[in-house]
């Protein structure tokens, strides 16, 4: 039986950039024990000789002619921005002060 | 008028018996009358719909050649970008977002003169089977308002069953078109993967997502299918081939000599008696119409659900990383000195609901180093085995059939706290998405034990979508002559405001 501890869930939530309350961490940890047991069934038939399928279509690279076409105006591109400044997205600080 | 089929409405429009403005207004009136009870819509675009309708009427008056469904109204699932119209995907993280562009499906609808009434409710980011995961409250099944309308496209299916729209658009990642159709007594089609462009469809699981038509008759679904399908250079997974002749197939409804394969593994234990009874009856009707019924086996289908709940969360954990509070949508905690990372963390905590978080975390785990081979890698192998099962079955049969869902509509709240029980709803629909083939659900009657609609599923090989329309249309005709009236004529009358 696979299980995920409260700390495992907290680590995953950090990787996924989701703040979680203590109540959520504990609840998810207990739910995952049940869910992981159910999904682990895939291992019963996934033997080494079976090829993996990542996509239903056998596509390789798909190219189009390199032709300039109209694109969004700056105003349209910024229309949903939570904050903007000088025709740019204004975002919180990414790097430290130094 | 609002109870007619879309093709009847189109005929009346073409004959000048009604105008599109009148038809659109009738549906807008119906929405304002009953949507308080049903809650199918998240946004109704009254002005835009009437303006579109007036434009179609003007073109018709000028004698311009119009598309078959021109002037007929439609309900659009809120996962499709429509320029200037709120598009939330049932999520708080996109509340208030108005896309600056149209999805290709919307462009095709507009080019066909189809009137977009508004956006329909859905499970958040299409994750769910009941529409209870919408951040804006559940949609109610018009057959019984205490029950779920299916999901994720429960708003679209409920709008059809409540006569708020004769046509709707859905998207189907694991059954989100077909299961809502089944539990509301309507028709829903998941075309072959790549048959309809995904450009502007907010991605949940890119290798599984497929938009498709929802309607009250098989012919209406076919007409809408042809209107939205076709190659799109903006979607690299769009198939560059002619659209299957689905309207022709739906009009002919001919199953003589066709071999229909009953999938042994998608029936039996776990399927409600009334669901199985309607399924068996439908098989008899198809046999009487000239089809040959054979049994096929797909031994790996029992692993489809497990594989799906690894592949879809894995892809969603990556796709939903775009909701980072930087360029559009919600932003929380942007106080002086706050880091980008803390803003992302806080925004995603508040913006995503429980099920979305659950799947992002599950996907993050399944893709993480050390677990990748055991989970995501194994699930991809199961995907191969399922596709092989389909290929073998299609050597024996032209189409495959099963009940769409194991049960009829359950009560709102009944499975909300049991994710696994909820996931089991999609046991018969998921294999289709894994292989990228076509699938349809149409009503096969009401279950004896609860009087609720039962869906009949038809599956067709890649880009042979016309086959499911042939079978669906033949079965629909046989059931209609047996019942004397469409199934939806039995739906209880909604109280409305009057």
Structure confidence by residue, pLDDT tens digits, B192-233: 999 999 999 999 999 999 999 999 999 999 999 999 999 999
CATH number at residue B184: 3.90.1300.10
Q: Angle, nearest 10°, between helix axes B304-319 and B354-366?
A: 100
Catalytic (active site) residue B77:
yes
Question: Are B381 and A81 in contact (CB < 8 Å)?
Answer: no
B238 and B318 together in one domain: no
pLDDT value of residue B115: 98
Closest Cβ opposite residue A76 in set B100, B237, B387: B100
Instruction: Give yes or no: residues B373 and B393 share one domain.
Output: no
On chain A, the residues whose CB falls within 8 A of the CB of B324 are 17
What is the distance between the alpha carbons of residues B375 and B306, in angstroms, rounded to a whole number? 10
CB contact under 8 A, A44 and B303: yes
Query: Which residue of the set B176, B282, B402, B470 is catalytic?
Result: B176
Give a yes or no: residue B465 inside a domain: yes
Whether residues B289 and B388 fall in one domain: yes
* Domain finish residue from B377, B396, B428: B377
Residue B14 to residues B54, B59, B61, Cα–Cα distance (Å): 14, 12, 10
- The verdict on residue B426 lying in a domain is yes
B373 and B465 housed in the same domain: no
Tell me: do B339 and B393 sit in the same domain.
Answer: no
The encoded tokens of residue B66 equal: 């119009």
Q: What pLDDT does A12 receive?
A: 97
End-to-end CA distance of chain B: 18
Out of A88-92, B224-228, B295-299, B493-497, pick the least confident. B493-497
Whether B234 is a known active-site residue: answer: no
pLDDT tens per residue, range B90-109: 999 999 999 999 999 999 99
In a domain, B497, yes or no: no
Confidence of residue A60 (pLDDT cuts 50, 70, 90): confident
Residue B495 included in any domain: no
Which range of residues forms the domain containing residue B319? 305-377
Q: Where are the beta strands (DSSP E) in B242-364?
A: 259-263, 292-296
Q: How far is B21 from chain A (nearest CA, A)?
A: 30
Q: Which of B340, B343, B382 sits opposite A42 (nearest CB)?
A: B382
Distance, CA of B345 to CA of B95 (rounded, Å): 18
Asked if the Cβ–Cβ distance from B358 to A28 is below 8 Å, we say yes
Check if the beta carbon of residue B438 is closer than 8 Å to that of residue B190. Answer: yes
- pLDDT tens-digit map of A10-35: 999 999 999 999 999 999 999 998 99
The confidence band for B301, taking pLDDT boundaries of 50, 70 and 90, is: very high
Last residue of a domain, one of B377, B409, B434: B377
Question: Contacts from A11-17 at CB under 8 Å and sequence distance 24+?
Answer: A12/B361, A12/B364, A12/B365, A12/B368, A13/B357, A13/B361, A15/B364, A15/B368, A16/B317, A16/B321, A16/B348, A16/B360, A16/B361, A16/B364, A17/B321, A17/B324, A17/B341, A17/B344, A17/B345, A17/B348
Clarify whether residues B136 and B164 are in a common domain. Answer: yes
Residues B392, B434 within the same domain: yes
Which tens digits make up the pLDDT trace of B1-46?
999 999 999 999 999 999 999 999 999 999 999 999 999 999 999 9
Q: Give the minimum alpha-carbon distance from B244 to chain A in angstroms, rounded to a whole number.
A: 17
Question: Which of B98, B194, B382 has its CB closest to that of A57?
Answer: B194
pLDDT above 70 for B498: no
Nearest to A16 by CA among B29, B14, B341: B341
Residues in chain B with CB shorter than 8 Å from the CB of A79 are: 98, 100
Shared-domain flag, residues B170 and B185: yes
The Cβ of residue B6 has, within 10 Å, a number of other Cβ atoms equal to: 26
| B376 DSSP assignment | I
Q: Which residues of B touch A31 (CB under 8 A)?
A: 358, 419
User: What Rg value do the Cα atoms of chain B yield, rounded?
Assistant: 21
Residues of B whose CB is below 8 A from A34: 419-420
Q: Are residues B223 and B332 in the same domain?
A: no
CB contact under 8 A, A19 and B380: no
Instruction: Tell me the nearest-neighbour CA distance from A75 into chain B, angstroms.
Output: 9
- Among residues B361, B377, B393, which one ends one of the domains? B377
Q: Residue B456: exposed, middle, or buried by beta-carbon count in 10 A (0-12, 13-18, 19+)?
A: buried
Residue B1 domain flag: no
ipTM above 0.90, yes or no: yes
The per-residue pLDDT of chain A, averaged, comes to 91
Bridge partners of B263? B296
Chain A residue numbers touching B383 (CB-CB < 8 A): 52-54
What is the average per-residue pLDDT within B444-452?
Answer: 98
* pLDDT tens, residue by residue, B427-445: 999 999 999 999 999 999 9
Cα gap B294→A44, rounded to integer Å: 29
- At B217, list the tokens: 């008759």
Residue of A nearest to B366 (CA): A36
Calpha distance B184→B165 (Å, rounded): 14
Cβ–Cβ below 8 Å for B420 and A44: no
pLDDT digits (tens, 9 = 90+) for B111-155: 999 999 999 999 999 999 999 999 999 999 999 999 999 999 999
Is B207 catalytic? The answer is: no
Q: Which tokens go with A18?
A: 């989701």
Go through A56-73 and write b for each residue having 16 or more CB atoms within 10 A of its CB, e for each that does not.
beeeeeeeeeeeeeeeee
pLDDT over 70, % of chain B:
100
Q: How crowded is residue B283: how many other Cβ atoms within 10 Å of its Cβ?
A: 18
**In this predicted structure, what is the pLDDT of residue A1?**
62
Query: Which of helix, strand or coil describes residue B29?
Result: helix
Number of folded domains that form chain B: 2
Q: Are B257 and B343 contained in the same domain?
A: no
Note whether residue B496 is domain-resident. no
User: Is position B113 within any domain?
Assistant: yes
Across the interface, whether the CB atoms of B339 and A31 are under 8 A apart is answered: no
Which residue of B193, B299, B338, B383 to mutate against A (max A Cβ within 10 Å)?
Answer: B383
Candidates B5, B12, B20, B77; catalytic one: B77
Q: Is residue B26 part of a domain?
A: yes
Do B121 and B131 form a contact (C-beta atoms < 8 A)? yes
Same domain, B218 and B242: yes
Q: Is B472 exposed, middle or buried (0-12, 13-18, 19+ CB in 10 A)?
A: buried
Sequence-distant (≥ 6) Cβ neighbours of residue B254 within 8 angstroms: B290, B470, B474
Contact between B142 and B491 under an 8 Å Cβ cutoff? The reply is: yes
State whether B423 and B333 are in the same domain.
no
Give the count of Cβ contacts less than 8 A between chain A and B.
173
* Segment holding B400, helix H or strand E: strand B399-403
How near does any CA of chain A get to the CA of B90, in Å? 17
- Subunit contact A28:B361, Cβ cutoff 8 A: yes
Nearest chain A CA: its distance from B466 CA (Å): 19
User: How far are the Cα atoms of A42, B1, B147, B364, B465 from residue B313, in angstroms, in the given order?
Assistant: 15, 43, 27, 8, 28
């Amino acid at each position: 039986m696979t299980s995920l501890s409260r700390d495992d869930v907290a680590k995953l939530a950090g990787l996924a950039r989701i703040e979680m309350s203590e109540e959520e961490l504990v609840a998810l940890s207990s739910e995952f024990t049940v869910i992981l047991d159910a999904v682990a069934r895939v291992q019963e038939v996934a033997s080494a000789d079976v090829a993996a399928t990542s996509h239903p279509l056998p596509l390789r690279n798909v190219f189009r002619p390199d032709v300039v076409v109209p694109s969004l105006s700056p105003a349209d591109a910024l229309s949903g921005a939570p904050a903007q400044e000088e025709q740019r997205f204004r975002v919180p600080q990414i790097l430290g002060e130094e | 008028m609002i109870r007619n089929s879309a093709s009847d409405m189109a005929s009346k429009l073409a004959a000048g018996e009604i105008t599109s403005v009148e038809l659109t207004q009738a549906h807008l009136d119906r929405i304002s009358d009953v949507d308080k009870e049903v809650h199918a819509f998240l946004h109704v675009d009254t002005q835009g719909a009437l303006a579109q309708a007036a434009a179609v009427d003007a073109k018709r008056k000028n004698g311009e050649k119009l598309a078959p469904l021109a002037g007929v109204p439609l309900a659009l699932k809120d996962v499709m970008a429509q320029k200037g119209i709120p598009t939330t995907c049932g999520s708080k993280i996109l509340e208030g977002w108005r896309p600056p562009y149209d999805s290709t499906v919307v462009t095709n609808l507009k080019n066909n003169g189809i009137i977009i009434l508004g956006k329909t409710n859905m499970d958040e980011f299409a994750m769910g089977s009941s529409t209870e995961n919408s951040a804006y409250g559940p949609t109610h099944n018009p057959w019984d308002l205490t029950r779920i309308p299916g999901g994720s496209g429960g708003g679209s299916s409920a709008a059809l069953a409540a006569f708020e729209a004769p046509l709707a658009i859905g998207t189907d990642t694991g059954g989100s078109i077909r299961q809502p159709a089944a539990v509301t007594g309507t028709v829903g089609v998941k075309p072959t993967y790549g048959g309809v462009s995904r450009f502007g469809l907010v991605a949940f699981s890119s290798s599984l997502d497929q938009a498709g038509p929802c309607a009250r008759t098989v012919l209406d679904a076919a007409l809408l299918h042809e209107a939205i399908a076709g190659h799109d250079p903006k979607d690299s997974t769009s198939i560059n081939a002619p659209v299957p002749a689905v309207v022709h197939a739906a009009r002919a409804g001919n199953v003589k000599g066709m071999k229909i394969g009953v999938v042994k593994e998608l029936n039996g234990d776990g399927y409600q008696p009334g669901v199985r009874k309607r399924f068996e009856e439908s098989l008899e009707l198809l046999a009487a119409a000239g089809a040959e019924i054979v049994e096929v086996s797909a031994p790996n289908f029992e692993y489809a659900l497990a594989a799906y709940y690894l592949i879809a969360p894995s892809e969603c954990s990556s796709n939903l990383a775009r909701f980072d509070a930087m360029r559009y949508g919600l932003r929380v905690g942007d106080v002086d000195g706050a880091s980008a990372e803390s803003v992302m963390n806080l925004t995603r905590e508040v913006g995503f609901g429980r099920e979305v978080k659950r799947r992002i975390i599950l996907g993050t785990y399944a893709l993480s180093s050390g677990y990748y081979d055991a989970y995501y890698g194994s699930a991809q192998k199961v995907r191969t085995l399922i596709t092989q099962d389909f290929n073998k079955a299609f050597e024996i049969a032209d189409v495959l059939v099963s009940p769409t869902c194991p049960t009829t509509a359950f009560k709102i709240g009944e499975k909300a706290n049991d994710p696994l029980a909820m996931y089991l709803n999609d046991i018969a629909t998921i294999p289709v998405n894994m292989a990228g083939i076509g699938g349809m659900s149409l009503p096969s009657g009401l279950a004896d034990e609860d009087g609720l609609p039962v869906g009949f599923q038809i599956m067709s090989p890649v880009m042979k979508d016309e086959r499911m329309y042939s079978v669906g249309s033949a079965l629909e005709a046989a059931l209609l002559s047996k019942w004397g009236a469409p199934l939806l004529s039995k739906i209880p009358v909604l109280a409305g405001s009057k």
